[in-house]
Amino acid sequence: MLPYSIFLVVSGLLLSVAERFWPREPRQGFFRREFGLDVLYLFFNAEVVGALVAIWITRTLPPEAILPLRNLLELNGLAAQPLWLQTIVLLVSKDFLQWLVHNLMHRVSALWQFHKTHHSSTNMDWLSNWRFHWFEIVVYQMVLYVPATLLGFSAEAAFGCAIISTAVGHFAHANLRVRIGFLKYIVNSPEMHTWHHVHPDAGPQDRNFAITFAFWDWLFGTVYLPAEFPKRLGIRLTSAAGR
Ligand SMILES: [Zn+2]
Ligand SMILES: [Zn+2]
């Protein structure tokens, strides 16, 4: 997926420039602590595991296996719709499923053991979007596969969806002190997602589960958005649970 790899690098570089102009944490340089570790996560999670899991899922659960169910539910119409409509429907449906799974990752202690890797960043920037346990890719790709296969989307819609959710993920993790006005009700952002990563000693836990769209948190009452940005990010290293 060369176009996706090019997008990864270009969007990362653009955000790195923006982070120099409007930093949330001005003392945090480009080569901040654990920069090398997160580059490894980026390469491993985005390029290696993502591709392997996609191959594994399509081999073990080919779309033809789901066709009888699709026909039964008469859900075949979406693949014939315009690309923009397919992309929006896929993006919203998979984002809601991922929002639910993200909730579970915080509330079920066995799942938190995997998800706490993502919360271990103490210096966040766009690259922190890629710090997570490979098991999370297995879970999230399978979640994406359900609406994509059941509703019959095109590969182009799935690609558009991956580009938009990665762009929002990079932006939400970026070291940026920016506010996005009324868009905070629609899309995830640094002002919202840094509070998701707040250290247990510096703010409430288990808020702002948004991945791409913010409105799930506003709808279900899990928003926490004070005027300031959090003072400290990360998890407790002194306890096994990290909390
Ligand atoms: Zn989380
Ligand atoms: Zn995050």
Domain boundary assignment for the chain: 2-181
Residue with tokens 């999230």: 140
What is the reported pLDDT for 162?
A: 85
Answer for the pair 23, 175: CB distance below 8 angstroms, yes or no. yes
Ligand in nearest proximity to the CA of 131: 2
User: Cα(54)–Cα(172) distance, rounded to whole angstroms?
Assistant: 25
What is the reported pLDDT for 196?
A: 97
Answer for the pair 105, 118: CB distance below 8 angstroms, yes or no. no
Find the 129 Cα to ligand 2 centroid distance in Å.
6
| Residue 228 DSSP symbol | S
Ligand in nearest proximity to the CA of 193: 2
What is the reported pLDDT for 63?
A: 62
Answer for the pair 137, 56: CB distance below 8 angstroms, yes or no. no
Answer for the pair 97, 147: CB distance below 8 angstroms, yes or no. yes
Find the 196 Cα to ligand 2 centroid distance in Å.
7
Report in angstroms the alpha-carbon separations of 208 from 59, 170, 172, 179, 226: 35, 16, 11, 16, 12
Find the 205 Cα to ligand 1 centroid distance in Å.
9
Ligand in nearest proximity to the CA of 168: 2
Residue 73 in this model has a pLDDT that exceeds 80: no
The residue type at 187: V
Region of 205 on the Ramachandran plot (φ > 0 left; ψ -120 to 50 alpha; else beta): beta
Percent of the chain with pLDDT strictly greater than 90: 50
Q: Each residue of 135-185: pLDDT tens digit?
A: 888 888 777 776 677 777 777 888 888 889 889 999 999 999 999 999 999
Q: Is 216 exposed, middle or buried (0-12, 13-18, 19+ CB in 10 A)?
A: buried
Helix/strand number for the chain, H first, E second: 10, 0
Find the 84 Cα to ligand 2 centroid distance in Å.
27
Find the 72 Cα to ligand 2 centroid distance in Å.
38
What is the reported pLDDT for 158?
A: 81
Residue 193 in this model has a pLDDT that exceeds 70: yes
Find the 118 Cα to ligand 2 centroid distance in Å.
6
Q: What is the model's pTM?
A: 0.89
Whole-number mean pLDDT of the chain? 86
Residue with tokens 């070291």: 175
Residue 69 in this model has a pLDDT that exceeds 70: no
Find the 96 Cα to ligand 2 centroid distance in Å.
16
Ligand in nearest proximity to the CA of 171: 2
| Average pLDDT estimate for 7-36 | 89
Ligand in nearest proximity to the CA of 172: 2
Find the 119 Cα to ligand 1 centroid distance in Å.
7
What is the reported pLDDT for 234?
A: 94
Percent of the chain with pLDDT strictly greater than 70: 85
Report in angstroms the alpha-carbon separations of 35 from 16, 89, 124, 179, 211: 13, 35, 10, 25, 22
Find the 164 Cα to ligand 1 centroid distance in Å.
19
What is the reported pLDDT for 33?
A: 86
Residue 133 in this model has a pLDDT that exceeds 80: yes
